[in-house]
Amino acid sequence: MVDGWAVPLGAAVLMFLGTTNLSYLTGNEGNFLIPQLALTVLAVAPFVKVTNFNPIYVLIICSILSALLISNFGNSEAAFTSPIFIFLTTIAIFTCFQLRAGAWLMGHRMLLTFCMIVVVSQLWTNLQFSPEDFVHSRSKGWGSGTLYALLAGFVIIYIMLEWPKGSQSRILLFTMLILAGWSIFLTQSRGVFLSLIVMAALQSAIKSKRYIAFASVSLAVAALLWLNIDTVSRIPIIERMQIYDARDLDAFTSGRLQTHVWIWNWLLREDELLSLLFGAQGLGGVKNLALRGLEFPHFDLLYLLYDGGVVAALGFVFFSCALIYKTAYSPGVVLFFVSGLHTNMVLAPNFLILAMAMHLFAEGPPGVRGAGRATTPSGRLDLRKRHRMER
């Protein structure tokens, strides 16, 4: 609480509540999308500002949202509360986010505190899941195993960003890494596991100095796995990724492959222009897929195509690319959008706010990122000196 920790601590608690499953924590079923989005916005509000609106972006997002409202004129309430409406607006706003002057140190403390809260909370939850349970099932964490593992994935992102700078204790970071990896291992979340690999590969390819190290480690791990293939294949999370036939492929996608194929076939067969442009059944129509015996589509682009049509899908692609480019392929932002290939991040814009917080607070203040970092005699970054440089 002393020396400027009160605000970061409060913001970290808000961020934690905004990125956990409130239905599980409160015991009440319901849609907590807007409350959780509000909590995460409040968490970063003291440290960031919205500025420099790009007039082209404003025109595009207003055109898309207006078109969706007009096409859903008879159901305007559902349109305003639609995840697509909220998601596209959130992405568009975040393309204009900037760090407040002198706020980096506070934001950095908030992020460290948040990650420690996640690790300690997940440690307590993981200890309730016995080894006997792990043999026969997988942990659901706080109701949703995927989002539980994704939170752990963001902790790993934080560690990846902090480790080279040495601004935190290596023992602390290593402990957090082990505990976060344990959460992913218990949930057996294939999507999060593969998303982290894709993110790491992309980051290594972009930053040439990391590429050689990543390639070397990957080859060594691949060789080790190949030499012990029989043992490795029995590890639950690896076993869940083995595909030998169509039945295994369907199981790999948790039964959603049929939904993905069905939506793609609808796109190819649809003759009505309005349906193609604004969605098969209007905003919220994706929920009716269950009436056809289909699973919910855990693939953001297909979700947007069916629910909001080509207009919503193109808006998503445009603003996603704009945000990834603006953040220079920030690991947290990349992880967010890659995760949309296996789960519905369109229903979790609160995680996008977390990803942007990772970008703003873990990668260093403006003017200090990447070079010219101030260090202490021990070689660690002096956060106070960096804070003065920022100001």
**Residue 244 pLDDT:** 56
Along the 391 residues of the chain, how does pLDDT read in single tens digits?
Answer: 445 789 999 999 999 999 988 777 776 776 788 888 899 999 999 998 877 777 888 888 888 888 887 877 666 666 666 788 788 888 888 777 788 878 888 999 999 999 999 999 999 988 887 665 655 567 777 778 888 999 999 999 888 888 777 667 788 888 888 888 888 888 888 888 888 888 877 777 776 565 566 556 666 666 665 555 555 455 565 665 555 555 655 555 566 778 888 888 888 888 888 888 888 777 777 878 877 777 788 889 988 888 888 988 998 999 889 888 888 888 899 999 999 988 888 888 999 999 999 988 876 655 554 433 333 333 334 444 444 444 4
How many other β-carbons are positioned within 10 Å of the β-carbon of residue 52? 9
CA-CA distance, 131 to 104, in Å (whole number)? 42
CA 185 centroid distance within chain: 18
String of DSSP letters for 228-257:
THHHHTTSHHHHTT---SHHHHHHHTTT-H
Query: HSE-up of 296 (CA within 13 Å, CB side)?
Result: 10
The residue with tokens 């004129």 is: 73
> What is the rounded CA–CA span in Å between residue 150 and residue 157?
10
Q: What is the C-alpha separation between 250 and 145, in angstroms, rounded?
A: 19
How far is the C-alpha of 156 from the C-alpha of 162, rounded, in Å? 10
What is the distance between the alpha carbons of residues 366 and 313, in angstroms, rounded to a whole number?
33
Residue 1 is assigned to a structural domain of this protein:
no
What are phi and psi for residue 97, nearest 5 degrees? -80, 140
Cα atoms in the Cβ-side hemisphere of radius 13 Å centred on 262: 17
Residue 18 falls inside a structural domain: yes
Q: Give this prediction's pTM.
A: 0.82
Any domain includes 89: yes
Q: What is the CA radius of gyration of the chain?
A: 22
Q: Which two tokens stand for residue 100?
A: 């407040």
CA dihedral 168, 169, 173, 175 (to 10 degrees): -160
Tokens 């239905």 sit on residue: 23
Q: Residue with structure tokens 């305003």? A: 80
Would you say residue 36 lies in a domain? yes
How many folded domains does the chain comprise? 1
Structural domain boundaries enclosing 87: 6-390
Contact 293, 123 (CB under 8 A): no
- Tokens 């078109």 belong to 67
Joined together, the tokens standing for residue 350 give 């609160």
